[in-house]
Amino acid sequence: MAGITAAITAIQGYVPEDLLTNADLEKMVDTTDEWIRSRTGISERHILKGADKGTSDMAVEAVKGLLAKRGIGADEIDLLICATVTPDMLFPATANIICDKIGAKNAWGYDLGAACSGFLFALATGSKFIESGTHKKVVIVGADKMSSIVDYTDRTTCVIFGDGAGAVLLEPSTDGMGIQDSILRTDGSGRQYLHQKAGGSLRPASHDTVDRKEHFIFQDGQPVFKAAVTNMADVSAEIMARNQLTSDDVQWLVPHQANLRIIDATARRMGLSEEKVMINIQRYGNTTSGTIPLCLWEWEPRLKKGDNIILSAFGGGFTWGAIYLKWAYNPA
Ligand code: UT7
């Protein structure tokens, strides 16, 4: 790719301190540690506690760490995009709130909602502002306080989700590093299987919506599972083929962490051995927009300049996609 590419030049994650373990969940709903681990791969998740804490509080921690790492001030950020399905409030955008809290006085920002594919959609979108030459420093945040929309009496969903945030800085690269290609998809007919029924303009909040528990996540797991396995594997294979990448050429797969079985199916389809797959679902569960940056953050010390990395996700909407990038820097 000639000209300017958009490269990740720093990464930082944040998870809250409090843990919700499988043993805790055994006391809350009719489930077992064995079922959760064998069906999902999850052992524990982090939960943001405190009545006055929202998604922006986790995002702020991640972004502050990111800026400190890169040695730049908040006033140098041009744009901040926050991928989330659990905004602090319906408006203003969580991105606005984050910018205010960190003092990003020269930035504009907005939220992007694409459920578990949110970070990928935001990364692809943000990269265009860098590639066009109009923006020099774009922050992409993926953050979700899933515990705010989980029904902790519903065993089919409460075992899956956790809270967390991750942020990356995008800057121009002139040596071809960074984002090389992206394939992003939506299929709104899948919305019936995974959604939050009330709280939007279609079903505004009322006593009735609260009584019916319509402000929690609704998921029909099996159809989502099937669509996730097929589409995440297909799109990951497609981006490899389109860029003439063999399994030997790919150093890392960074999959959305929804279910270990979905991750395994994707890696198998790509012909990748498990050492090349970033997996931390056992400790964080599904943090929705947070999963991919949290993986990159944890693996950062092992990433080398020029590594070919495929990011891949599937989520509610349905939404899914893959991004191919070349890592832009060596470990510090
Ligand atoms: O990231 C966003 C996109 N979301 C996903 O990718 C999630 C995709 N779906 C999944 O990961 C899986 O479908 C789940 C993990 C949600 C469920 O696993 P499953 O293997 O599809 O289970 P199932 O829904 O087919 O349920 C099998 C059985 C049922 O009991 P019966 O009807 O066979 O008696 C469930 O009631 O397991 C039961 N079950 C549980 N048992 C113990 C469901 N949840 C639990 C539980 N503990 N927590």
223-233 tens-digit pLDDT: 999 999 999 99
What mean pLDDT is predicted for residues 177-197?
98
What is the Å distance from ligand 1's center to 145 Cα? 21
φ/ψ of 318, rounded to 5, equals -70, 150
The pocket around ligand 1, CB under 6 angstroms, is made up of: 31, 35-36, 39-40, 116, 155-156, 159, 221-222, 224-225, 228, 258-259, 262, 286, 315-316
Is the pLDDT at 2 greater than 80? The verdict is no
Q: What is the pLDDT of residue 90?
A: 95
Our CA angle for 58, 64, 70, nearest 5°, is 135
By most ligand atoms within 8 Å of CB, the mutation choice from 32, 220, 230, 259 for ligand 1 is 259
| Domains, in order of start, for the chain | 5-175 (3.40.47.10), 180-326 (3.40.47.10)
How many whole angstroms from 225 Cα to the centroid of ligand 1? Answer: 9
pTM above 0.75, yes or no: yes
Task: Give me ligand 1 centre to Cα 49, in Å.
Answer: 26
Q: Is the pLDDT of residue 1 over 70?
A: no
118, 145, 48, 161: which is closest to 292 by C-alpha? 118
| Residue 332: per-residue pLDDT | 84
Q: Please, are residues 265 and 140 in contact by the beta-carbon 8 Å criterion?
A: no
The CA-atom distances, in angstroms, between 178 and each of 28, 67, 122, 134, 280 are: 44, 19, 15, 17, 23
Nearest to 310 by CA among 275, 266, 258: 266
Q: Determine contact, residues 182/77, Cβ cutoff 8 Å.
A: no
Residue 163 predicted with pLDDT over 50: yes
Residue pLDDT, tens place only, 240-291: 999 999 999 999 999 999 999 999 999 999 999 999 999 999 999 999 999 9
From the list 188, 264, 197, the residue with the least C-alpha distance to 225 is 264
Residue 196 has a pLDDT of 97
Rounded Cα–Cα distance for residues 166 and 294 (Å): 5
Q: Whose CA is nearest to atom 39 of ligand 1?
A: 156
At residue 51, the pLDDT reads: 87
